[in-house]
């Protein structure tokens, strides 16, 4: 029997990178996938691939910075599949490595809304469904930037630290209800999240303080490797793991 047979799974930021790999793997394992993203073309491509492989999927355009979209996608899961078993908060954006002195309000608000506030609102709605049946799994895609200070800009670093704290609090608070909440902290992974970053024109302080640490990274991971970590957290194989962060960085942060 497939490990996620008939489980209803909502994955945000599912159109590319780690979200796409997770959606494909979870569908392969029998999950009924509700895939959301803001990129219509990539989302359509994912939908076709899952269906071609015999999987079950519903694709929705949803912006994690908009509360109405978050409410819509949770409602869609219940309407389409009757419940929600697993929530994977994967959608996220970066901040062009901006340190505090170079950080503008627009960037701060966007990063915090998508990386922290959106996941919180999705969790808040998902928990109401999960508490009614005393079961459910929440997986937040954090970052080693949420455990260290020199892997990204101020906004991204703060957002991922907040997501880690949100994960731990949620895992602990609902630990006796049959609900588990964990995070994955990927290191360098080859995805498209950095598409909007101008690597050739970074502030001098970024090149002085952050880039030397990048050289210590043993290797870049693949989206499929993170998806496998998420599958572990989504199954009973990790039944005793709750309120914690699984680091998947190839040993980068061990230095």
Name beta bridge partners: 66.
Answer: none
Q: What pLDDT is stored for residue 1 in this prediction?
A: 78
| Mean pLDDT, rounded, for 45-74 | 98
pLDDT digits (tens, 9 = 90+) for 191-211: 765 555 555 666 766 665 666
**What is the pLDDT confidence band of residue 213, given thresholds at 50, 70 and 90?**
low
The tally of CA atoms less than 13 A away on the side-chain side of residue 218 is 10
Mean pLDDT across the chain: 93
Q: What pLDDT is stored for residue 124 in this prediction?
A: 98
Would you call 46 helix, strand, or coil by DSSP? helix
| Mean pLDDT, rounded, for 47-71 | 98
Per-residue pLDDT at 114 exceeds 80: yes
**Cα separation of 138 and 115, whole Å?**
15
Per-residue pLDDT at 113 exceeds 60: yes
| Mean pLDDT, rounded, for 60-77 | 98
Domain boundaries, the chain: 8-254
pLDDT digits (tens, 9 = 90+) for 222-232: 999 999 999 99
Q: What pLDDT is stored for residue 150 in this prediction?
A: 82
At 172, list the tokens: 């602990």
Q: What pLDDT is stored for residue 255 in this prediction?
A: 80
Name beta bridge partners: 214.
Answer: none
Per-residue pLDDT at 131 exceeds 60: yes
**What is the pLDDT confidence band of residue 57, given thresholds at 50, 70 and 90?**
very high
pLDDT digits (tens, 9 = 90+) for 215-254: 677 788 999 999 999 999 999 999 999 999 999 999 888 8
**Cα separation of 75 and 53, whole Å?**
26
**Which segment of 94-103, 156-165, 203-212 scores lowest on mean pLDDT?**
203-212
Q: Does the global pTM surpass 0.85?
A: yes
156 is catalytic: yes
pLDDT digits (tens, 9 = 90+) for 5-36: 999 999 999 999 999 999 999 999 999 999 99
**Cα separation of 187 and 54, whole Å?**
32
Whose CA is closest to 60, among 73, 41, 51, 49?
73
Q: What pLDDT is stored for residue 217 in this prediction?
A: 76
- Marked catalytic residue, from 81, 156, 172, 255: 156
* CATH class of this structure's domain 8-254: alpha beta
């Amino acid at each position: 029997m497939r490990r996620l047979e008939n489980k209803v799974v909502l994955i945000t930021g599912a159109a590319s990178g780690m979200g796409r790999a997770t959606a494909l793997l979870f569908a392969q394992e029998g999950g009924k996938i509700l895939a959301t993203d803001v990129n219509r073309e990539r989302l359509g491509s994912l939908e076709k691939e899952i269906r071609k492989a015999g999987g079950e999927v519903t694709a929705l355009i949803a912006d994690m910075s908009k509360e109405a979209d978050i409410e819509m996608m949770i409602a869609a899961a219940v309407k389409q599949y009757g419940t929600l078993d697993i929530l994977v908060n994967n959608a996220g954006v970066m901040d062009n490595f901006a340190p505090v002195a170079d950080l503008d309000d627009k960037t701060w608000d966007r990063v915090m809304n998508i990386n922290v506030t959106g996941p919180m609102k999705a969790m808040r709605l998902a928990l109401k469904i999960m508490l009614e049946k005393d079961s459910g799994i929440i997986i937040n895609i954090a970052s080693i930037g949420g455990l260290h200070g020199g892997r990204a800009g101020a906004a991204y670093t703060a957002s991922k630290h907040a997501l880690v704290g949100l994960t731990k609090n949620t895992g602990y608070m609902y630990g006796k209800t049959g609900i588990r909440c964990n995070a994955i902290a990927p290191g360098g992974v080859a995805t498209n999240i950095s598409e909007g970053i101008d690597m050739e024109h970074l502030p001098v302080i970024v090149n002085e303080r952050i880039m030397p640490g990048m050289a210590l990274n043993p290797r870049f991971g693949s989206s499929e490797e993170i998806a496998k970590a998420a599958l572990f957290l989504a199954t009973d194989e990790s039944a005793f793991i709750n309120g914690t962060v699984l680091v998947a960085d190839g040993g980068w942060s061990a230095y």
